[in-house]
Chain A
């Protein structure tokens, strides 16, 4: 018998696997009728999932962990049986900041270490002159966009809390805020950087993958309590996402995927933009290590508890919570691969361009190494 599930999502390119699971009937074949409901904010997604308005949701991975741990103001245990993809963000800066960085940069502008050091000089100059601090936008306090900005700043030894202003700017306002100079740049998910660049409001400075390789992005989240009584539906939907992933990663379906995503994206999003946003399937690029785009393949969707721990460590590094073994354990438990599709290989591990190696078994040492990197000039 078909079960109807109400699934909230934010209209971004990385909701792709949900659209594929529905449009290609992968969910229907597993007895799930997907009602996809677009929403306008991550706060709404969280509240409506927690309140039971949605059975499942496309959610920022760190937001799912924060809600589960009660960091912030709502505490509700969530479970993530499957991840919806890796990568897809980009740092876009205003034309003015881009020019200034170009002037200051000593080296290759595609190297985030070079741009971060150039930014540090701009930040310092603005502070000396008591001008408005450099203001950078991201999308939600608990988001990889936020953490990626902090990692970039850290490479320039810029204090993200004291020397610059980090603000949440809803993506629909980004072009306007860049134009008005209310923000100097932002880290945002696809397709918003492409849209800002196309509108002539800014220039893409770094792909998210320049900062973090295989960066966790969105997940499929359920209320843990609901999962207890709906295991079949949860697994069926997660398996359908797995089917969608295999379909989306197949080079022969590439053009169908782009066509589908063009129809689900806003009117300004072109097929050419999506071609650049999406990662090139592994069989053509040769190695997943080279991937610079949104990954939807099977190795990118495993809900590996190590990824949850990596995100938890970034939350601690951002000062959003403090480390404890109990919290780390709870964060890891949010990811429940046993409820998702069986993927024999290990999941991709996120790699920061300018940070210590991450060891899920020893987060305190990792955090200490991050801290050392920040203080040593």
Chain B
């Protein structure tokens, strides 16, 4: 059986790197090393001597990896970018997910493709998670603003909670705004008039 591939993950986002490492381990890849996006990248790569390098597209260090290609005399094991020219869909998927892969030259594509598939799906999963988290955060934020505004309306008009909320919702509907926007206006106005 062939030796387990050594995989280096270059990503300045430790959470995303952890999610990816987890995914690769689940797929049976035990030697995965996370490298912080640092200045001495080349030395660290030499020390790890990976078969596959996965790198976040936002990292400027991609250009450092570019010098490890065949044309360079500076490295012992030349690497190549994992681009299957026959598979434009895979390039698109990788760019969409924001990741790129480099492999030791000569390594069979079949061994690497599942790794890139896992990477792309984990990067996408992370992006989705991040988006969901942001949505939840802004919803929580809205909730807080609405509650504050509701309390202001209740006090100013001496009305119960349900009525205050109904009033705000009515204004939002009339003005074609979100209720959170109306709430923000109420808070701003209240601060002005204080």
Instruction: List chain A positions with a Cβ less than 8 A from chain B.
Output: 40-44, 47-48, 51, 53, 71-74, 139-141, 161, 165-173, 176-177, 180, 182, 319-321
Closest Cβ–Cβ distance, residue B45 to chain A (whole Å): 12
- Do the beta carbons of B100 and A43 come within 8 Å of each other? yes
List 27 contacting pairs A-B, 8 Å CB cutoff, sorted by A: A40-B57, A40-B62, A41-B61, A41-B63, A43-B65, A43-B100, A51-B88, A72-B66, A72-B71, A73-B69, A73-B83, A74-B81, A141-B66, A141-B71, A165-B74, A166-B74, A167-B67, A167-B74, A168-B63, A170-B61, A171-B60, A173-B38, A176-B39, A177-B39, A177-B40, A180-B40, A182-B39
Q: Could you tell me the distance between the alpha carbons of A196 and B40 in the complex, rounded to whole angstroms?
A: 18
Number of A-B contacts (CB under 8 A): 82
Q: Could you tell me the distance between the alpha carbons of A47 and B63 in the complex, rounded to whole angstroms?
A: 12
Q: Could you tell me the distance between the alpha carbons of A182 and B69 in the complex, rounded to whole angstroms?
A: 22
- Smallest CB-CB separation from A167: which chain B residue? B42
Contact of B39 among A47, A74, A169, A319 (CB under 8 A): A169
5 closest Cβ pairs, A-B complex: A170-B60, A43-B62, A41-B62, A173-B39, A177-B39
Q: Could you tell me the distance between the alpha carbons of A44 and B100 in the complex, rounded to whole angstroms?
A: 9
Chain B positions 40 through 76: 1 when the CB is less than 8 Å from some CB of chain A, otherwise 0: 1010000000000000011111111111011111100
User: For the complex, would chain B's binding face be called helix, strand, loop or mixed by DSSP majority?
Assistant: loop
- Do the beta carbons of B60 and A40 come within 8 Å of each other? yes
- Do the beta carbons of B39 and A168 come within 8 Å of each other? no
With A51-B91, A167-B42 as contacts: A42 and B66 at CB distance below 8 Å = yes
With A73-B81, A74-B83, A168-B64 as contacts: A41 and B74 at CB distance below 8 Å = no
- Do the beta carbons of B39 and A140 come within 8 Å of each other? no
Contact of B66 among A43, A53, A172, A173 (CB under 8 A): A43
Residue among A42, A169, A172 facing the most chain B CB atoms (10 A cut-off): A169
On chain A, the residues within 8 Å of B57 by CB distance are 40-41, 44
- Do the beta carbons of A53 and B95 come within 8 Å of each other? yes
- Do the beta carbons of B67 and A47 come within 8 Å of each other? no
- Do the beta carbons of B83 and A42 come within 8 Å of each other? no
Residue count of chain B within 8 Å CB distance of chain A: 29
- Do the beta carbons of A42 and B63 come within 8 Å of each other? yes
B92 within 8 A of A: yes
Chain B positions 14 through 52: 1 when the CB is less than 8 Å from some CB of chain A, otherwise 0: 000000000000000000000000111010000000000
B80 within 8 A of A: yes
Closest Cβ–Cβ distance, residue B181 to chain A (whole Å): 29
With A47-B100, A73-B81, A74-B81 as contacts: A139 and B63 at CB distance below 8 Å = yes
Instruction: List chain B positions with a Cβ less than 8 A from chain A.
Output: 38-40, 42, 57-67, 69-74, 80-81, 83, 88, 91-92, 95, 100
Closest Cβ–Cβ distance, residue A92 to chain B (whole Å): 15
- Smallest CB-CB separation from A315: which chain B residue? B71
Q: Could you tell me the distance between the alpha carbons of A166 and B66 in the complex, rounded to whole angstroms?
A: 13
User: For the complex, would chain A's binding face be called helix, strand, loop or mixed by DSSP majority?
Assistant: loop
- Smallest CB-CB separation from A40: which chain B residue? B60
- Do the beta carbons of B81 and A48 come within 8 Å of each other? no
Q: Could you tell me the distance between the alpha carbons of A180 and B57 in the complex, rounded to whole angstroms?
A: 26
On chain B, the residues within 8 Å of A171 by CB distance are 60
Contact of B64 among A169, A319, A320 (CB under 8 A): A169
Residue among A40, A41, A166 facing the most chain B CB atoms (10 A cut-off): A41
On chain B, the residues within 8 Å of A53 by CB distance are 95
On chain A, the residues within 8 Å of B72 by CB distance are 141
Q: Could you tell me the distance between the alpha carbons of A105 and B152 in the complex, rounded to whole angstroms?
A: 76
Q: Could you tell me the distance between the alpha carbons of A225 and B28 in the complex, rounded to whole angstroms?
A: 42
- Do the beta carbons of A51 and B66 come within 8 Å of each other? no
Closest Cβ–Cβ distance, residue B62 to chain A (whole Å): 4
Closest Cβ–Cβ distance, residue A66 to chain B (whole Å): 9
Closest Cβ–Cβ distance, residue A331 to chain B (whole Å): 16
Q: Could you tell me the distance between the alpha carbons of A320 and B92 in the complex, rounded to whole angstroms?
A: 28
On chain B, the residues within 8 Å of A51 by CB distance are 88, 91-92, 95
Q: Could you tell me the distance between the alpha carbons of A299 and B88 in the complex, rounded to whole angstroms?
A: 39
On chain A, the residues within 8 Å of B66 by CB distance are 42-43, 72, 140-141, 168
Q: Could you tell me the distance between the alpha carbons of A140 and B66 in the complex, rounded to whole angstroms?
A: 7
Residue among B38, B40, B62, B74 facing the most chain A CB atoms (10 A cut-off): B62
- Do the beta carbons of B69 and A161 come within 8 Å of each other? no
- Do the beta carbons of B67 and A41 come within 8 Å of each other? no
On chain A, the residues within 8 Å of B60 by CB distance are 40-41, 170-173
- Smallest CB-CB separation from A160: which chain B residue? B73
Closest Cβ–Cβ distance, residue B44 to chain A (whole Å): 11
Q: Could you tell me the distance between the alpha carbons of A51 and B94 in the complex, rounded to whole angstroms?
A: 11
On chain A, the residues within 8 Å of B58 by CB distance are 40
Q: Could you tell me the distance between the alpha carbons of A309 and B63 in the complex, rounded to whole angstroms?
A: 24
Q: Could you tell me the distance between the alpha carbons of A166 and B81 in the complex, rounded to whole angstroms?
A: 21
Closest Cβ–Cβ distance, residue A150 to chain B (whole Å): 13
Q: Could you tell me the distance between the alpha carbons of A171 and B63 in the complex, rounded to whole angstroms?
A: 10
Closest Cβ–Cβ distance, residue B136 to chain A (whole Å): 29
